């Protein structure tokens, strides 16, 4: 754990390499496991203002062992930041894979996928990079292809996947014009070529699905803004489905092939997105910071509560060490029925509710709460004092992102798709005022459930904590900002941890071992 850019992903890769090295088997499975991280980074990481290779999802890798040999691995992923596909703030980029494709594909392959100059695509903000950066991306694309091959992805699967990604980029350039004031809308003349590119890129069925969707009847009933929202919803859903398919495929390819009667031991590595405080913080940052609050609470429980309870139980002379308990913040966020996420789900269930009614509900519910502050003036937002400091959240888009809805007719179109990448999950209909929607599940509810399952896993294990400390905010090597480091040591509880390790009993032999000595 640690804040964004502190080195969690790099540490996780080093730890994985060390474990594979200790197995000393050098089997194909071990090499495949080592390729999982670079593969997932391409599809799940992106450049942010805090970190050039920021994990925009959480992952938990379970390594299964028989004696000292690794027999299989399983991956769980949490909360991919799908909104990044359609929007990035200043100084940020989309997921790496889009840039790798532009830099690494040959001219013939680009023509096959219908890809043009990257500066033309809205979803990558028309950005590319210098020649040096482009060369690095080209090398990275080759690494991704090698990783896909080594892990066991078929060539046709790789082609399908890239066809869909190219289709997503083209879809982002489709715009809409009203045929007359307050009347039905149509795809703008200028973007008909993009619509065709989204439809026929590679002539594969998933991309034809996108075309079918955009040419189907409900769109003619809509105004331009809902059409654009629907287009972006589809792009996010498709990218999320591709990412989920990659993870499922990895799990199929790396599953252990042993007798069910054989007992396997397990080592799990959790590498989750770090605490974030950007100039503008949205729904995604709240989800990320909640996950970090949970991890901090887990750390406190093991290092302080369990440790000191053991000293008292054994009658050791001990002066209690106090620590910054973040339980009140977790209650503010997770309590039922009046925690922030419960109120968000409640508001999301009302078709008439808006981000403003949600914020008004928070202001009345948390009046006087030390960890919650209403926004000043006419700003639609609120602040939460997290364990790592105060973060101001922009509440615009909270309800829409939490609802995570899709036009209802999309469901039938994706059911008819023959590719496994886009077979829909079990989703239910929720009619809306102008367009039937498919509800993919409140994101706050999904987040709460995912975190509960994750914490159950962690509490059932024997944990070791790797606390990553960020040396400076300039993303520079060899520079240590003492004040910044000290602040992290304070809010992480590491100064108190040092004290409990120094004053406490860090070496604990078993009685038999003690008697032998």
- The domain ranges of the chain are 8-274, 284-407+411-427+437-460
The answer to whether residue 5 is catalytic is yes
Q: Does the annotation place 397 within a ligand binding site?
A: no
Q: Which of 37, 45, 51, 402 is catalytic?
A: 51
DSSP state at residue 436:
-
> Any binding-site annotation on 3?
yes
Cβ-contact 344, 402 below 8 angstroms: yes
Residues 6+ away with beta carbon under 8 Å from 461 = 268
Return d(Cα 46, Cα 74) in angstroms, integer. Answer: 23
Tokens of 168: 């997503």
pLDDT at 425: 36
Catalytic residue among 48, 55, 201, 405: 55
Q: What is the pTM of this model?
A: 0.89
In angstroms, rounded to a whole number, what is the distance separating the alpha carbons of residues 415 and 206? 10
Of the candidates 274, 339, 381, 493, the residue annotated as catalytic is 274
The pLDDT of 162-180, averaged and rounded, is 87
| Whether 412 is catalytic | no
What is the reported pLDDT for 480? 97
Q: Could you check whether the bond before residue 337 is cis, i.e. omega within 30 degrees of 0?
A: yes
Q: Which residue has the higher pLDDT, 505 or 156?
A: 156
Same fold, 8-274 and 284-407+411-427+437-460: no
Q: Is 55 a catalytic residue?
A: yes
Find tokens 């004040």 and name the residue: 483
Q: Give percent helix, percent strand, percent coil of the chain, each to the nearest 5.
A: 55, 10, 35
Give residue 31's pLDDT band: very low, low, confident or very high (50, 70, 90): very high
What DSSP assignment string belongs to 348-401? HT-TT--HHHHHHHHHHHTTT-TTEEEPSTT-SEEEEEETTEEEEEE-TTHHHH
User: Which of 96-110, 175-189, 449-463 shows the lowest per-residue confidence on average (mean pLDDT)?
Assistant: 175-189
Tell me whether residue 322 is one of the annotated catalytic residues: no
Indicate if 77 belongs to the active site: no
What is the model's pLDDT at position 359?
A: 97
For residue 95, name the pLDDT band (cuts at 50, 70, 90): very high
4 among annotated binding-site residues: yes
Active-site residue (options: 41, 77, 81, 276): 276
Is 54 annotated as catalytic?
Answer: yes
CA distance 102 to 468: 33
Question: Is 183 annotated for ligand binding?
Answer: no
**Residue among 4, 94, 405, 417 flagged as catalytic:** 4
**Residue pLDDT, tens place only, 217-272:** 444 444 466 778 888 888 998 899 899 999 999 999 999 888 888 889 999 999 99
- Establish whether 2 is an annotated binding residue: yes
* Cβ proximity of 239 and 233 under 8 Å: no
CA dihedral 185, 187, 188, 189 (to 10 degrees): -130
Active-site residue identified among 1, 5, 348, 492: 5
**165 and 101 Cβ atoms separated by less than 8 Å:** yes
Active site residue 4: yes
- Architecture of 8-274 per CATH? Up-down Bundle (1.20)
**Which has more pLDDT, 220 or 460?**
460
When pLDDT is cut at 50, 70 and 90, the band that residue 145 belongs to is very high
Beta-bridge partners for 74: 62
Query: Quick check: is 276 catalytic?
Result: yes
Cα 86 to Cα 236: distance, rounded to the nearest angstrom: 7
| Residue recorded with tokens 């299989």 | 72
Whether residue 411 has pLDDT greater than 80: no
- Rounded Cα distance between 379 and 229, Å, is 23
Please say whether the structural domain 284-407+411-427+437-460 has been given the CATH code 1.20.58.530. yes
Where residue 301 falls among pLDDT bands split at 50, 70, 90?
A: very high
pLDDT of res. 208: 45
The catalytically annotated residue of 1, 37, 48, 54 is 54
Query: What is the mean pLDDT of the segment spanning 123-138?
Result: 84
Q: With 70 as the cut, is the pLDDT of residue 292 above it?
A: yes
At residue 308 the predicted structure's pLDDT band, cuts being 50, 70 and 90, is: very high
Catalytic residue (choose from 9, 37, 402, 405): 9
389 is in an annotated binding site: no
């Amino acid at each position: 754990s640690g804040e964004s850019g502190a080195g969690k992903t790099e540490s996780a890769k080093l730890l994985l390499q060390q474990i594979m090295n200790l197995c000393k088997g050098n089997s194909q499975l071990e090499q495949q496991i080592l390729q999982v991280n670079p593969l997932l980074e391409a599809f799940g990481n992106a450049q942010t203002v805090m970190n050039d290779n920021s994990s925009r999802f959480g992952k938990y890798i379970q390594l299964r062992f028989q004696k000292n040999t690794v027999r299989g691995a399983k991956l769980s992923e949490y909360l991919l930041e799908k909104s990044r596909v359609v929007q990035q703030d200043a100084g940020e980029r989309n997921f790496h894979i889009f840039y790798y494709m532009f830099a690494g594909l040959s001219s013939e392959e680009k023509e096959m996928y219908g890809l043009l100059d990257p500066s033309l695509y809205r979803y990558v903000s028309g950005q590319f990079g210098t020649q040096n950066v482009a060369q690095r991306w080209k090398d990275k694309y080759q690494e991704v292809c090698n990783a896909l091959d080594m892990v066991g992805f078929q060539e046709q699967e790789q082609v399908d996947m890239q066809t869909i990604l190219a289709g997503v980029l083209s879809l982002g350039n489709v715009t809409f014009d009203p045929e007359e004031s307050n009347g039905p809308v149509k795809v703008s003349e200028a973007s008909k070529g993009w619509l065709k590119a989204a439809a026929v890129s590679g002539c594969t069925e998933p991309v034809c699905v996108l075309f079918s969707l955009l040419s189907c009847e409900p769109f003619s009933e809509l105004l331009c803004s809902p059409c654009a929202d629907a287009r972006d919803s589809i792009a996010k859903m498709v990218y999320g489905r591709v990412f989920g398919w990659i993870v499922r495929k990895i799990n199929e390819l790396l599953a252990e092939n042993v007798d069910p009667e054989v007992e396997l031991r397990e080592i799990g590595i959790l590498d989750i997105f770090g605490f974030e405080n950007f100039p503008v913080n949205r729904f995604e940052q709240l989800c990320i910071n909640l996950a970090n609050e949970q991890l901090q609470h887990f750390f406190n429980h093991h290092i302080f509560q369990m440790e000191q309870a053991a000293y008292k139980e054994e009658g050791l002379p001990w002066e209690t060490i106090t620590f910054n308990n973040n339980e009140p913040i977790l209650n503010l966020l997770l309590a039922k029925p009046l925690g922030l996420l419960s109120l968000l789900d409640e508001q999301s269930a009302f078709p008439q509710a808006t981000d403003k009614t949600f914020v008004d509900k928070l202001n009345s519910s948390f009046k006087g709460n030390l960890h919650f502050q209403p926004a000043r003036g006419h700003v639609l937002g609120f602040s939460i004092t997290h364990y790592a400091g105060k973060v101001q959240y922009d509440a615009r888009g909270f309800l829409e992102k939490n609802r995570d809805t899709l036009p209802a007719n999309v469901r039938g179109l994706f059911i008819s798709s023959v590719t496994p990448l886009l077979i829909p999950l079990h989703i239910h209909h929720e009619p809306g005022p102008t367009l039937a929607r498919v509800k993919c599940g409140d994101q706050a509810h999904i987040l709460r459930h995912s975190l509960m399952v994750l914490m159950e896993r962690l509490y059932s294990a024997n944990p070791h904590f790797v606390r990553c400390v960020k040396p400076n905010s300039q993303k520079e090597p060899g520079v240590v900002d003492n004040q910044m480091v000290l602040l992290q040591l304070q809010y992480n509880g590491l100064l108190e941890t040092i004290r409990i390790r120094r004053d406490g009993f860090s070496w604990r032999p078993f009685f038999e071992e003690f008697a032998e000595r």
